Amino acid sequence: MRTRIQYSRASLLAPLIVASFLGISGIAASARNDKPPASNNPKWNYEEIKNAPEKARLKQNPLENDPEAVRAGGKLFERNCSGCHGMKAEGGRRAPSLLREEVQQATPGALFWVLTNGAVWHGMPVWSKLPEPERWQIVTFLKSYKPSLTPGGPGGG
- Select the CATH number that applies to the domain covering 47-156 from these four: 1.10.760.10, 3.30.70.3420, 1.20.810.10, 1.10.10.10: 1.10.760.10
Confidence of residue 156 (pLDDT cuts 50, 70, 90): very low
Domain ranges of the chain: 1-35, 47-156
Q: How far apart are CA 17 and CA 8, in angstroms?
A: 15
Task: Say which DSSP state 104 is in.
Answer: H
Q: Which of 96, 152, 150, 100 is nearest to 124 (CA)?
A: 96
What is the model's pTM? 0.67
C-beta separation of 61 from 112 below 8 A: yes
Beta strand spans in 67-106 (E): none
* pLDDT tens by residue, 74-113: 999 999 999 999 999 999 888 999 999 999 999 999 999 9
In three state form, how does the secondary structure of 34-60 look? HCCCCCCCCCCCCHHHHCCCHHHHCCC
Q: In 10 A of CB 78, how many CB atoms? A: 13
Buried b (16+ CB within 10 A) or exposed e, 5-14: eeeeeeeeee
pLDDT score for 25: 40
List pLDDT tens digits, range 103-145.
999 999 999 999 999 887 788 889 999 999 999 999 999 999 8
Using alpha carbons, list the distances in angstroms from residue 48 to 114, 126, 152: 7, 13, 23
At residue 119, the 3 state secondary structure works out as: strand
Q: Express each pLDDT in 29-82 by its tens digit.
A: 433 344 444 344 555 678 889 999 999 999 999 999 999 999 999 999 999 999
